[in-house]
Amino acid sequence: MRLAQLVAQCKARLAEAGIADAAFDARMLVLSLLGLETKDLLIKGDQEIAAADVARIEGAIRRRLAREPVHRILGEREFRNLRLKLSPGTLEPRPDTEVLVEALLPLGQEIAQRVSSPRLLDLGTGTGAIALALLHELPQFTGLGVDISTDALETAKVNADLNGMGQRFTTLESWWFEHVTGRFDIIVSNPPYIETGVIPQLEPEVRMFDPHLALDGGKDGLDAYRNIASAAGDHLEHGGIIAVEIGYDQKQTVTAIFISCGYTLECAVRDYGGNDRVLVFVRKSDDSATV
Ligand SMILES: C[S@@+](CC[C@H](N)C(=O)[O-])C[C@H]1O[C@@H](n2cnc3c(N)ncnc32)[C@H](O)[C@@H]1O
């Protein structure tokens, strides 16, 4: 079978099964599995594909038809120009989380100018996406990635090595701050924030393939924020910042949790879809000393 014909056939099968982005998914799976680029579809559309490759692609299409996301099938995805491996214990990093990284970059640069050997802590690090993207763009920092999932921590370490940051990134298995020692200039977290009762209504790609631990924020979705806000004070450097990703409707409630623990809201940032997505807090007594 020829390349263009194979892509068209895969697209038709995915579309028939109601997969929303059938054309994109078909192209991505076929080209990635063959080690080709998008432009190759134009240049090499007539290229004959070996039977063994067609069989491999058939396996991938079957997985997609069972609603496994494309990047899980491929085993990796890009996040702010980093190549990140995925594993069963890791959430697939979302483009909206790049907004959290972007919001922290200028604040991190400001910290790096006044602090020698600045440190960041990523609570619920998963693939290491947030910590590694920040370390990549803030070369003065070292980072600690915490997770309760050993599988996620192993993957985060692999990703740090893969992206040349193995020397600046360590991992720790801990229930939020439980085993964390020391203080950090930036504490960041994209914790699980979905209400338990909402999880069965999520898209199959999410509820069947992202780990439950990465999604479930408890009855009201706010368990992690309460745990993080109540313990962060012992681990935040004077003049440090704490930033969290939130669900689109959690700005008021999460802000109230942090205010009750002695923080003030420094800034709130919306995602690419215009939803509230990132909150940055400072300690009340630090207000005048920071950003
Ligand atoms: C929404 S995912 C975020 C993953 C990654 N930081 C990202 O943004 O792509 C939340 C992460 O928190 C971890 N987690 C859940 N409960 C935890 C806990 N009690 N202590 C530490 N990590 C936890 C999960 O295993 C998961 O990796």
Interacting residues of 219 by C-beta distance below 8 A, sequence separation 6+: 195, 196, 197
What's the average model confidence in pLDDT over 8-15? 97
What is the rounded end-to-end Cα distance, in angstroms, of the chain? 59
Q: How far is the C-alpha of 176 from the C-alpha of 178, rounded, in Å?
A: 6
What's the average model confidence in pLDDT over 92-113? 97
Ligand 1 within 6 A of CB of 244: no
Q: How far is the C-alpha of 226 from the C-alpha of 213, rounded, in Å?
A: 16
Q: Is the pLDDT assigned to residue 86 strictly greater than 60?
A: yes
Q: How does DSSP assign 70-85, residue by residue? A: HHHHHTEEEETTEEEE
Q: Is the pLDDT assigned to residue 288 strictly greater than 70?
A: no
Q: How far is the C-alpha of 11 from the C-alpha of 62, rounded, in Å?
A: 12
What confidence tens digit (pLDDT) does each residue in 103-160 have? 999 999 999 999 999 999 999 999 999 999 999 999 999 999 999 999 999 999 999 9
Q: Is the pLDDT assigned to residue 289 strictly greater than 50?
A: no
Decide if 3 contacts 45 (C-beta within 8 A): yes
Q: Which residues pair with 281 in a beta bridge?
A: 242, 265
Ligand 1 within 6 A of CB of 155: no
What separation in Å is there between the alpha carbon of 50 and the centre of ligand 1?
41
Q: How far is the C-alpha of 171 from the C-alpha of 173, rounded, in Å?
A: 7
Average pLDDT, the chain: 96
* pTM score, whole prediction: 0.95
Probe target for ligand 1 pocket from 84, 99, 213, with the most ligand atoms within 8 Å of CB: 213
In this structure, of 62-66, 70-74, 286-290, the range with the lowest mean pLDDT score is: 286-290
Q: What is the percent of the chain with per-residue pLDDT over 70, rounded to a whole number?
A: 98
What separation in Å is there between the alpha carbon of 130 and the centre of ligand 1?
11
State both tokens at 19: 């997969």
Decide if 69 contacts 92 (C-beta within 8 A): yes
Q: Using alpha carbons, list the distances in angstroms from residue 172 to 33, 119, 188.
A: 34, 15, 15
pLDDT at residue 40 in the model: 87
Ligand 1 within 6 A of CB of 176: yes
What's the average model confidence in pLDDT over 7-21? 96
pLDDT at residue 291 in the model: 45
Predicted confidence band at 284 (pLDDT cuts at 50, 70, 90)? confident
Predicted confidence band at 287 (pLDDT cuts at 50, 70, 90)? low
Q: How far is the C-alpha of 151 from the C-alpha of 3, rounded, in Å?
A: 36
Ligand 1 within 6 A of CB of 118: no
Phi and psi torsions of 200, nearest 5°: -65, -20
Ligand 1 within 6 A of CB of 192: yes
Torsion sign across C-alpha atoms 228, 93, 96, 78: positive
pLDDT at residue 124 in the model: 98
What's the complex ipTM? Answer: 0.99
What separation in Å is there between the alpha carbon of 176 and the centre of ligand 1?
9
Q: How far is the C-alpha of 11 from the C-alpha of 25, rounded, in Å?
A: 8
Q: Is the pLDDT assigned to residue 41 strictly greater than 90?
A: no
Interacting residues of 104 by C-beta distance below 8 A, sequence separation 6+: 134, 186, 188, 241, 243, 280
* H runs (alpha helix) in the chain: 3-16, 22-34, 40-43, 51-65, 70-74, 97-114, 129-137, 150-162, 204-207, 212-215, 223-231, 251-260
Phi and psi torsions of 100, nearest 5°: -65, -45
What separation in Å is there between the alpha carbon of 123 and the centre of ligand 1?
7
What confidence tens digit (pLDDT) does each residue in 159-175 have? 999 999 999 999 999 99
Probe target for ligand 1 pocket from 72, 132, 144, 149, with the most ligand atoms within 8 Å of CB: 149
